[in-house]
Amino acid sequence: LQTRLQAGQGYGNTLKCVLTVYRNESLTGFFKGMSFPLASIGIYSSVVFGVFSNTQRFLSQLRHGDPAAAPSLADMTLASLVAGVISVGIGTPVELVKIRLQMQTQPYTKGNVKLNSTAPGSPVYRGPIHCLRTILQKEGIPGIYRGNVAMLLRDVPGYCAYFVPYAMFCDWITPHGSIAPNPFSIWVAGGVAGAVSWAVCTPMDVVKSRLQADGVYSNQYKGTIDCMLQSYQNEGLKVFFRGLLVNTIRGFPSSAAMFLGYELCLKAMKRCQSETNP
């Protein structure tokens, strides 16, 4: 829904988009482009959380001489910036393939469609691997990283609005006297952080989606600035808030589960390490 609202035409509001997708593509339309992100989300998330945590530890060691020291707000912010920059290298190709698959609005059927068809609505890619191979053949490595500047402008502030609010909300709702936040506190803080982050990210997420969707059937935008200018000239300021509701609603449960899983796994591994090396 987010991609269709941001980069598609004629979907209107969220409810209309839901009805249009269901009417034209049935339930399978809501799961387009899911396989590639699903296969890579573990690697992507482990890199982002790993870079964030290790950067924090490095800064604590540098400033206080103890990697386990509580990080300052400045340390968390800097660690978030580094995580945002690193995430773009892994995330851009995944996002590109997902959006290209979502923006070809008809299912691929081998018997009645030519793969070189470029008419809007006709399928271009058979699946994620074919999509990736086709982009590499036609556009090379730069094609795989199409929209990387917009994604950088999205993820760098986005991860600051992700990790910093999480730490603040987690600390705020943790009962006084508790050594560590309980699972409920982690879940709520993670969900709030996700919603806040996606609210901050949405304007540049719109630009990124449009740049990456551009190329399925035509090439309309020359770059990030051109995409922003054309979008504003054609649709006004409101265009940069397309998909805001979907992003924030999606951001809460997904981020709540992400942070809860991360914290519980971290505690389990630390407990296992302490039992192995008393």
How is the chain split into domains, by residue range?
A: 33-111+118-140, 146-277
Residues 6 or more apart whose CB falls under 8 angstroms from that of 24 comprise 105
Q: Predicted confidence band at 122 (pLDDT cuts at 50, 70, 90)?
A: low
Q: Predicted confidence band at 241 (pLDDT cuts at 50, 70, 90)?
A: very high
Cβ–Cβ under 8 Å, residues 152 and 85: yes
pLDDT at 113: 39
Q: Is the pLDDT of residue 62 over 80?
A: yes
Model confidence pLDDT, tens digit, residues 201-233: 999 999 999 999 887 666 788 889 999 999 999
Q: Predicted confidence band at 34 (pLDDT cuts at 50, 70, 90)?
A: confident
pLDDT at 58: 93
pLDDT at 108: 41
State mean pLDDT over 135-141: 89
pLDDT at 236: 92
- Give 140: exposed, middle or buried? Use CB within 10 Å, 0-12, 13-18, 19+: exposed
Residues 6 or more apart whose CB falls under 8 angstroms from that of 190 comprise 166, 255, 256, 257, 258, 259, 260
pLDDT at 28: 73
State mean pLDDT over 67-88: 91
Q: Choose among 260, 275, 273, 242: nearest CA to 13.
A: 242
pLDDT at 123: 64
Q: Is the pLDDT of residue 265 over 60?
A: yes
Model confidence pLDDT, tens digit, residues 147-166: 999 999 999 999 999 999 99
Q: Is the pLDDT of residue 277 over 70?
A: no
Model confidence pLDDT, tens digit, residues 107-116: 444 433 344 4
pLDDT at 256: 94
Identify the DSSP state of 221.
-
pLDDT at 248: 92
pLDDT at 38: 76
Residues 6 or more apart whose CB falls under 8 angstroms from that of 203 comprise 240, 241
| Rg, the chain, Cα only | 21
Cβ atoms < 10 Å from Cβ of 177: 5
What percentage of the chain carries pLDDT values higher than 70? Answer: 88
Q: Is the pLDDT of residue 106 over 80?
A: no
Mean pLDDT, the chain, as a whole number? 84
Measure the CA–CA gap between 144 and 152, rounded to whole angstroms: 15
pLDDT at 182: 86
Measure the CA–CA gap between 263 and 52, rounded to whole angstroms: 14
What kind of fold does domain 146-277 have according to CATH?
Answer: Mitochondrial carrier fold (1.50.40)
Q: Is the pLDDT of residue 78 over 50?
A: yes
